[in-house]
Structure 1
Amino acid sequence: MQLVVLGLNHRTAPVNIRECFSFPEERVKWSLKRIKGYDRWLEAVILSTCNRTELYAVLENPEVELRFIKRVLAYLSGKDYSEEHFYIYEGEDCIRHLFNVASSLDSLVLGEGQILSQVKNAYNIARNLGLTGTLLNTVFNKAIAVGKRVRTETKIAYNSVSVASAAVDLAGEIMGDLSLANVLVVGAGAMSELTAKHLIETGVSTIFVSNRNHERAKSLAERFHGVAIPFEEFMTLSVNADIIITSTGAPHYIITLHDMAHVLKERAGRPLVIIDIAMPRDVEPEVGALNGVTLYNIDDLEAVVDANRELRENEAHVARAIIEDEVVVLLERFAYLSMRPVMSKLQDKMEFLRDKLLKRSMSKLGNLTDTEKRVVEQLTKTLVRKMLREPMRAMNSVAGTAQETEYKDFITKVYLLNQDEEDEDEKETYDWD
């Protein structure tokens, strides 16, 4: 079995490519349910955020099945794609990559805090659907622990920015004093909430919030002393807006070239800044070509982010050292996993025989007291444990080495691990029978 990840992110693909592979949570669940029906997949997790989409899998034969994964991803996205935008990591490299992702070292915003919760959520979705087993349970739980350790033991998150705060910083650079600006936030999810929070912190006195679910818009607006606007009216309000920040989960453009052209006719030449931080994008790209409109998307925020990146780069070196230590620890743990099934079968067989013999012996010993029964049972358990100690140590010592297969075969033959216990038990005779 091999652990692999196929993915793309902000480093390998521009926004117009990434948005084709951006899956909302319901699409992720649907995709995993479809994946569960394929015999070639042993385990799978899909991580999809605004800056990455990654498919983690445990495969029997990666060389053959990676081609199958690519076809599945193309099918799930509904798009053809160029392989140049994707990366593939296997085994140790896959583990190291996931640790970097969970620790926000692979994020557009170095040190941002959202990715760790996104990794947790992706893992929990797959686990609840029965798509994770020993390997992915171990790797993802360790990745989450590593992400927490990095944030605790380094200052990588100190004075960090998020995509939302970068959007607000960009708006401030363009407009100057935001306290005088009319700001419209379209969307009421987590990213919009962060955006609203940063807007208030920078001095915006009132924000307008619009969302397809008006109750969610009202709830967000109330938390930040803003005003909720019905979704069907937000384009009308944009006539008076100075800045529009969009972050919805819509699968299509909510601001089109046609609609914005009509809005501009009523603005009397006043400039409008639109910052689209949605994935997939909310604003038709051609809107940026209109006179009087300045349009930025999530990729344009990278320059804002880079200004703060250098401050945390030294902490990233410390974080990478932590990750390398944790990769080694996990690999050592995995070295024993391949031998564990044989060790488990041996232990189960010995326990089966112990229990069988104990019951027969008890029937011959007459009326023992409860204390005497416990003494006899403990004696048999101790005897089995001591008899297994050396074989178990030997198997542990060769796990992950060239001798592993030889030991597996030897233990299986000597202890008849492939023989049914009931059949073997029928052949046994005892002095007292």
Structure 2
Amino acid sequence: MQLVVLGLNHRSAAVEVRERFSFEKNEVSAALNRLYEYDKISECVILSTCNRTEIYAVLEEVESPKPYMLQLLKDLKHADMIDESAFFFYEDRDCIEHLFRVSASLDSLVLGEGQILSQLKGAYITAYSSGFTGTVFNILFQRAIGVGKKVRTNTGIANTPVSVSYTAVNLAEDSLDKPLADATVLILGAGTMSELTATHLQAKGVKTIFVSNRTFTKAETLAKKFNGRAIKLDCFVEQAVDADILITSTGAPHYIINEKEARRIAELRHGRPIVMIDIAVPRDIDPRVADIDGIYLFNIDALESVVEENKQQREDEAKRAEPIIHEAIEELLDKLSYLSVRPMMALLADKADRIRRRELHRALAKLPHISDKERRIMDSMSRMIVRKMLREPMIHFNEIAGTEEEGVYWDLFKDMFSLEKEG
């Protein structure tokens, strides 16, 4: 048994290369179904996200596993050529460690991000549903998911925001004298940063969002996404009078809010505070606005300094994750070493079942219109055939277990069925 992973990520390959080898959700299922053509692959999981594509596999005695996996990916993606330098390849313990680091988000572009764990679960479930995980990967991936959860629970790796938009929302929440969910938010600008900020605000429970932009149709489009309301740019001052939070990201070459307009807003609010967050470059709000009573102003420099501080905190927390990962690796290796010395008939039963599943999927692929009931009947029939074929050999091997003949039968069955005898 060879445990391997071939992949590329944000560190090893440029985005245009990653795009060529990424798999959409429906492509993953199609690729797994094609793997029944490859007799050397007994288990497989394909993980594909915006920043990585990784193929994990249990191989059966492949002489050159890396070229084999490269050719496999080339076949699955119909690629004429592959630049090997864009890919990493790990075997056995290194493969396990890499998977655990991925699940713990230590290998992510944003250290500590939580999306990778759900993506890993999805990849495992897809492979499991396709019949392409067995004893080894069921243990390995369930343990990897457990490691990811443990790292997030036992460390603070995910406790601090490390994006400007999310940090802006957190600062706004900390500065308010009311729950964020009850706040009224006015967003000036309808670009990517504004959309990200609105996404974080809605995730925090904000229900009332107004959007203003020089191009009104863009304001309408963004507002619609968040059940908000678009207002014309020349009316934003009046709307700011009723807002609790004002966020700007327009990309304008000049100040959208100068000192005079800010004082007018403050006067009309009659002492009610407002949080202004300027995430634009160049800045949208005159920095002198920070001196006006009742206005709490945060600009991009303040936000980025918080982001850098939080990144350092996450890196410190990541160090606390290392012992968790290494302990889990040792526990898993003990488990796998136990599996490698299972009784010979268990090895034979596993191999027979892999062949059964492979041939069953090949047959079902040629019968796309049969019912679920008919599929279950075929699955049950194939299981019974394997069970009855192995019944007599199992009984006989149990009879000679512990006798002098046992070693002879080990060698005989190993040669007859190409089983690996270990221990």
TM-score grouping bracket, smaller chain normalisation: 0.5 to 0.7
**Aligned 8 A contact 1:184 1:207 in 2:** no
- What's the counterpart of residue 24 of structure 2? 24
1:206 equivalent among 203, 210, 235: 210
- What's the counterpart of residue 330 of structure 2? 328
What is the root-mean-square deviation of aligned Cα atoms in Å? 4.6
- What's the counterpart of residue 378 of structure 1? none
- What's the counterpart of residue 67 of structure 2? 67
Q: Does 1:124 align with 2:125?
A: yes
- What's the counterpart of residue 320 of structure 2? 318
**Aligned 8 A contact 1:196 1:207 in 2:** no
Q: Does 1:47 align with 2:47?
A: yes
Q: Residue by residue, what CA displacement relative to the aligned partner does 1:192-244 show, whole Å, maximum 9, x if unpaired? A: 8x764325569993369xxxxxxxx99x977833369xxxxxxxxxxxxx969
Question: How far has the Cα of 1:13 moved from its partner?
Answer: 1.3
**Aligned 8 A contact 2:187 2:210 in 1:** no
Which SS does the other structure have where 2:46 is aligned?
strand
- What's the counterpart of residue 181 of structure 1? 188
Q: Residue by residue, what CA displacement relative to the aligned partner does 1:287-332 show, whole Å, maximum 9, x if unpaired? A: xxxxx9xxxxxxxxx9997653211222211111110001000001
Distance 1:304 1:78 in 2: 45
- In structure 2, the CA distance between the partners of 1:305 and 1:20, relative to structure 1 (3 Å rule), is farther
- In structure 2, the CA distance between the partners of 1:416 and 1:312, relative to structure 1 (3 Å rule), is closer
Distance 1:268 1:345 in 2: 68
- Percent of pairs identical after alignment? 44
**Aligned 8 A contact 1:182 1:206 in 2:** no
- What's the counterpart of residue 160 of structure 2? 159
Which SS does the other structure have where 1:63 is aligned?
coil
Which SS does the other structure have where 1:335 is aligned?
helix
Q: Residue by residue, what CA displacement relative to the aligned partner does 1:121-172 show, whole Å, maximum 9, x if unpaired? A: 00000110011111111110110111111111111111144xxx55666999
**Aligned 8 A contact 2:210 2:223 in 1:** no
**Aligned 8 A contact 2:344 2:410 in 1:** no
Q: TM-score, normalised by structure 2?
A: 0.56
Question: How far has the Cα of 1:5 moved from its partner?
Answer: 0.2
Which SS does the other structure have where 1:327 is aligned?
helix
Distance 1:168 1:49 in 2: 21
Structure 1 portions without partners, runs of 5+: 173-177, 187-191, 209-216, 229-241, 245-266, 272-291, 293-301, 357-383, 392-406, 420-433
- In structure 2, the CA distance between the partners of 1:34 and 1:342, relative to structure 1 (3 Å rule), is same
Which SS does the other structure have where 1:340 is aligned?
coil
Q: Residue by residue, what CA displacement relative to the aligned partner does 1:257-291 show, whole Å, maximum 9, x if unpaired? A: xxxxxxxxxx99899xxxxxxxxxxxxxxxxxxxx
- Number of residue pairs matched? 286
Distance 1:415 1:64 in 2: 27
**Aligned 8 A contact 1:47 1:122 in 2:** yes
**Aligned 8 A contact 2:8 2:52 in 1:** yes
AA matched with 1:182:
G
- What's the counterpart of residue 280 of structure 1? none
Question: How far has the Cα of 1:112 moved from its partner?
Answer: 0.9
Q: Does 1:82 align with 2:83?
A: yes
Which SS does the other structure have where 1:81 is aligned?
coil
Question: How far has the Cα of 1:414 moved from its partner?
Answer: 7.1
**Aligned 8 A contact 2:169 2:201 in 1:** no
- In structure 2, the CA distance between the partners of 1:86 and 1:415, relative to structure 1 (3 Å rule), is closer
- What's the counterpart of residue 141 of structure 2? 140
Distance 1:346 1:68 in 2: 25
**Aligned 8 A contact 1:171 1:243 in 2:** no
Q: Does 1:226 align with 2:228?
A: yes
**Aligned 8 A contact 2:169 2:197 in 1:** no
Q: TM-score, normalised by structure 1?
A: 0.54
